[in-house]
Amino acid sequence: MNILDGKSLAKKIKHNIKEETKHLDRKPKLVVVLVGDDPASLVYVKNKVQACADVGFSSQLDMFEKDVEEDVLLNHIKRLNEQEDVDGILVQLPLPPHISMHRVIDAIDPSKDVDGFHPNNMGKLFSGDLEKAFIPCTPLGIKLLLDEYNIDVKGKNVCIVGAGFIVGKPLSMLMLSQDATVSICHKYTKDILEYTKTADILISATGVPFLIKDYMVKEGAVVIDVGISKVNGKIVGDVDFESVSQKASFITPVPGGVGPMTVATLLLNTLKAYKQRI
């Protein structure tokens, strides 16, 4: 069993970005928009702002009350679209129920959509135009982690457990673009075991603690754990690490696996947005 060390790779990526940023005419700028006071979301956005500072980017955190009207938020995004010094715009998800996630994402200028969720960027990902697309951060982070350890997905059976908008769906397209054979499982899948047991690469992104047990995993599989939950005050993933690590050839830890890569790829996307706009 080998550890897929996302923490170390993210550190290397951030170092390279920091060195490149020193030679730019101005600092790339990311604006993070947070609606409400959800504690987890607040931690995430503060981590993103800190990551910007770590590599020499400029950042701005715009906070709104949870009962803000949708039009107010949309108008704010429109103003950010028009600001020349803003390279990336990220609206922290989830949003309160009265605000349409799709309308908010659609309002972001695709050239500043560093989360990669705008239909223009999703369409480029779907069509395989990866050079111009902003690829959603977690899927991109997983790809780079696999690349770092020379794990080729071409011709491999890739099973993704979790069909969400943020990870599962875009990740399936990204894996397909690299010629993997992709299966996606979700809460209506009748027999998840049928898919996980034959997976060369098993990726779980459900947020259900210890969902993936050793009997569900093929001997020698690569296992990537995207989930993050708190159990008895401890951060855990979707995968029962202790047992599954005995069967996996490679496995990501939680924390220290996919999480740091998600932040690092946000910085990569922000730098990419800056370069495309100069």
3-state secondary structure 204-262: ECCCCCCCECHHHCCCCCEEEECCCEEECCEEECCECHHHHCCCCCEECCCCCCHHHHH
The residue from 29, 48, 124, 143 that is catalytic is 48
pTM of the model: 0.96
pLDDT of the chain along its 278 residues, tens only?
Answer: 899 999 999 999 999 999 999 999 999 999 999 999 888 898 899 999 999 999 999 999 999 999 999 999 999 999 999 999 999 999 999 999 999 999 999 999 999 999 999 999 999 999 999 998 999 999 999 999 999 999 999 999 999 999 999 999 999 999 999 999 999 999 999 999 999 999 999 999 999 999 999 999 999 999 999 999 989 989 999 999 999 999 999 999 999 999 999 999 999 999 999 999 87
The residue from 87, 92, 178, 272 that is catalytic is 92
115 an active-site residue? yes
Q: Which residues of 3-15 are buried (b: 16+ CB within 10 A; e: fewer)?
A: bbbbeebbeebbe
Bridge partners for 224 per DSSP: 203
* 3-state DSSP assignment of residue 106: helix
Q: Which domains does the chain carry?
A: 25-110 (3.40.50.10860), 137-259 (3.40.50.720)
92 an active-site residue? yes
Q: What percent of the chain is modeled with pLDDT above 90?
A: 95
**φ, ψ (nearest 5 deg) of residue 79:** -65, -40
276 an active-site residue? no
DSSP at 38: -
Between CA 28 and CA 25 the distance in angstroms is 9
The residue from 113, 115, 225, 240 that is catalytic is 115
